Structures are given as structure tokens and as C-alpha cells.
A = this chain, B = another copy of it.
Amino acid sequence: MSTPNSYSGPYLAEIAHLMGDPARANMLHALMDGRALTAKELAWLAGVAPQTASGHLAKLMQGGLLAVAAQGRHRYYRLAGPEVAQALEGLMVLANREGSGRRLPSRVGAELSFARTCYDHFAGKLGIAIHDALMAGGHLAVSEGGYALTASGKAIFVALGVDPDQSGRSRRAALRPCLDWSERRPHLAGHLAAALACRCFEMGWTRRRKDSRAVTLTGEGRSVLEAALPGFRCDAPEPAVTPSRREPAPAPA
């Protein structure tokens, strides 16, 4: 009764509080590539014991941030939906602003900002290159709550092996812009973008890096995209020596 204007403040605080713990934030960050991970993997990634991780995961579940799929004796956790990933991206934009003083370490930052998965689609320089090439070519049109493909845009998706008319859940836009936290420019999200990313992994045009959201564009992938997408241009990533960081677990003191 003492806080007349705090309509959603408490709810907002509840969600933010869930994300505000380092261990939980690490887990959420790791899940932002859209994959589903087991509790043990998440525990290791977060740097805590499995018991602790279990508690965190239960809290995240109760808060509606995660979904779980039980499979045998494993439980695979994933983000509850694209809104969660989008909210996290919004926070990443803040966390990586120049003003805040904290930036990604340059090596790692270069890999991640070249190409990575953002929930289920491409982000980074690669995602933006795709977005820009489609836009510059007039293959995108404004639509209900996002983008729609023009006829020429649909032809491009067909050429890449993605059915542009597969209407997933009709509520969500097939294509929409998503602000990129590393480049501060939009890339393509939505289930068509996800289908395109999926196709790229299937065909070996892109590959996931181990233990990272970073993505590698293969030589074949570059050729395919340049052929199908007039104007597509994406600077090569530096070869980036594999850091071979492979400490299995923090040695218990």
C-alpha cells in the first residue's frame, strides 16, 4: 500500500532477480544458443556443484524461464521461449555498452561477434550480413509485426533449401528484426530465420564451435551464401587459435 506506482515493479524485480545470480546467469547465457543441456553440464558451466545447480534450475523453472524435457535419467533444460532469449539479449546490450567499462575479452569477443547463434538463429556479423543483403536487395517487406519475404526473397530461400511458406505457429512473425548486442544493429529472428540456420548446420555451411555459441562459416557455406544472396559479404574471421581450454572441473579445495 505504500508504493502507489509500483504496478509491475515487483514482478519485474522477480524476473530480474532470477537472472541476477552469477550462476544462474551463466546457465541462461549457455542456453542462449537454443540447445538443451543437462543439469550436470549446466552445473559445470556455471561453476557450481550439481546440488546447487539443481536448486537454481528449479527456481528458473518456477519463474517460467526454462523448460525441461526428461529423457531417461537425463533432464534436458532449455530456454522456455524466444521471449526469454530476447529479454536476455536486451540485457546483454546493456552489459556490453562502451560506457560500462566491461567488454568481452578481445579474442573471445572477435569470435563471438563474427558469428554466433542467438537462441535459434544467426547473430553477429554473419547474421547482420544476411539481414543486410536481403534488405538491400529488396527481398524484405514490412509485415504484421515484422518482416515478410517478397517474391524475390522467397526465391532465395527456396534456392537455399528452406520452404518460405512453412507457417509455424501463425502467431509469431516468420521474420522479425532482433537487435544484436555485439554489433548494435539488427539481424533476422523468427522461425524462418531459425529454419535457415538449421539448414546451414545440416548442410555443413556453418559449424558450431565446441563449448561456445560461436559459429564458423565454412568455405562451402560462404560460396553458397554468396551465390544465393547477391550482395552478401561477410569478412573472414581471424583463424583464431583454438584455446584448448579444457579444465574438466574446478579442483575442490
Contacts and interface: CB of A to CB of B under 8 A. Distances in A.
Given A16-B25, A21-B13, A145-B177, A5 B211 contact: yes
A105 interface: yes
Contacts of A229: none
Given A25-B13, A142-B141, A104 B135 contact: no
A93 B100 contact: no
A4 interface: yes
A91 B87 contact: yes
A93 B83 contact: yes
A29 B8 contact: yes
Contacts of A105: 7
Categorize the interface residue count of chain A: 35 or more
21 contacts: A6-B26, A6-B30, A6-B46, A7-B29, A8-B29, A11-B92, A11-B95, A11-B100, A12-B88, A13-B26, A15-B95, A16-B17, A64-B100, A65-B94, A83-B97, A87-B87, A88-B90, A91-B91, A141-B141, A142-B142, A145-B177
